[in-house]
Amino acid sequence: MSKALNRRDFIKTSTAVGVTTVAAGVTLTTFAENKEAVTNQKRWGMLIDTNNLTEAEIDNMVSACMKEHGWGSELHSTGDQKPSWIKKIKVQDRTTKKITSLPLMCQHCEQPPCVDVCPTNASMKREDGIVLVDKHLCIGCRYCMMACPYDARSFVHEDLTNQKEHMPRGKGTVESCTLCVHKVDNGEQPACVDSVNSDAVIFGDLKNSNSKINKTLRQIQSTQIRADLNLNTGVRYSGI
């Protein structure tokens, strides 16, 4: 070798490499870090007033979700294989025959059965009550889909391309409504809530006594779907 590496050069090079590595890491961490840590001081939730929500508005909510997260344009999946993060449901009372339409999505339970059954902790609940699937831990066993009382989860049945940056969907994993966590963390509202131009759907912090959702829930009568299961859902309904 013509030029041997002397000690001074070695120290210089190593320092340079070290600084570059650490600086890059620090920068990335700074970017990734949230301004505020997620705590259980907040509990995100939604109140859906089915008496004031039209069917067209429910359809808009579904479209907004599809657009935001990029689901619904799968090429091969048919019928029940198609993903459905949010859907329009019509129910009819067996006795009075009253018909009610409502949007149904992940109810973001306080005691989510999907999280209980997930073997790998891929299904998880954030401190602020948002229930999510970690796409990197999901092994695609679908036990969470068996356990969810709301049929809220979908399994990706085929290869996907052009996924959204904030939503790394992938074949062989399970997915569901994220309550638009990427928007909520930036102080925005979920896409479906944004698509409704009235107070028929209210999003907010269930715990904050000054929030609109908390105030409304204290005034009106509301319900949780399958309240008997005692899951304490984050999504509440009035009018059903």
Partner 1 sequence: MSNIRYEEIEGNGVGFYTLVACLGVLILAALGSVYYMEHNGHYVTGMSNRIVWGTPHVFAIFLIVAASGALNVASISSVFHKKMYKPLSRLSGLAALSLLAGGLMILVLDLGRPDRLIVAMTEYNFKSIFAWNIILYNGFFVVVGVYLWMMFERRMNKFSSKVGLLAFTWRLILTTGTGSIFGFLVARQAYDAVIMAPMFIIMSFAFGLAFFILILMASYKWSDRQLGDVVVNRLGNLLGVFIAAVIYFVAIYHLGNLYLAENTRVENFILFDGGIYTQLFWYGQILLGGLAPMALIYNPSTKGNRSMLGLASVLVIIGGIIQIYVLIIGGQAYPIEMFPGMDIIEGYGGIASYVPSLPEILLGIGGIAVSLVAIIFLVKFLPFLPESLADEVADPHHKS
DSSP state of 223: B
**Residue 168 · residue 37 · CB < 8 Å:** no
CB of 179 to partner 1, least distance (A): 19
Which two structure tokens, joined as six digits, stand for 37? 């840590």
Q: In angstroms, what is the minimal distance from the CB of 100 to partner 1?
A: 8
Q: How far is the CB of 122 from partner 1 (least distance, A)?
A: 8
Q: How far is the CB of 159 from partner 1 (least distance, A)?
A: 6
* Nearer to partner 1 (CB atom), residue 157 or residue 212: 157
Amino acid residing at 197: N
Q: Which is nearer to partner 1, 164 or 171 (CB)?
A: 171
d(CA 201, CA 91): 19
For 48, the token pair is: 């859906």
**8 Å CB contact between 224 and 232:** yes
Q: Which of 174, 172, 214 is nearest to 44 (CA)?
A: 214
Q: What is the number of residues in the chain?
A: 240
Nearer to partner 1, 164 or 226 (CB): 226
CB of 92 to partner 1, least distance (A): 5
- d(C-alpha 50, C-alpha 72), whole Å: 24
Cβ proximity to partner 1: between 184 and 192 the closer is 192
Note the residues at the interface with partner 1 (CB under 8 A).
74, 76-84, 87-95, 99, 101, 104, 113, 115-122, 137-143, 145-151, 153-159, 171-174, 225-226, 228-229, 240
Tokens 């908390």 — which residue? 214
C-beta closer to partner 1: residue 77 or 238: 77
Q: Which is nearer to partner 1, 38 or 117 (CB)?
A: 117
Residues 197/92, Cβ–Cβ less than 8 Å: no
Shortest approach of partner 1 to residue 238 CB, angstroms?
Answer: 15
CA distance 206 to 203: 9
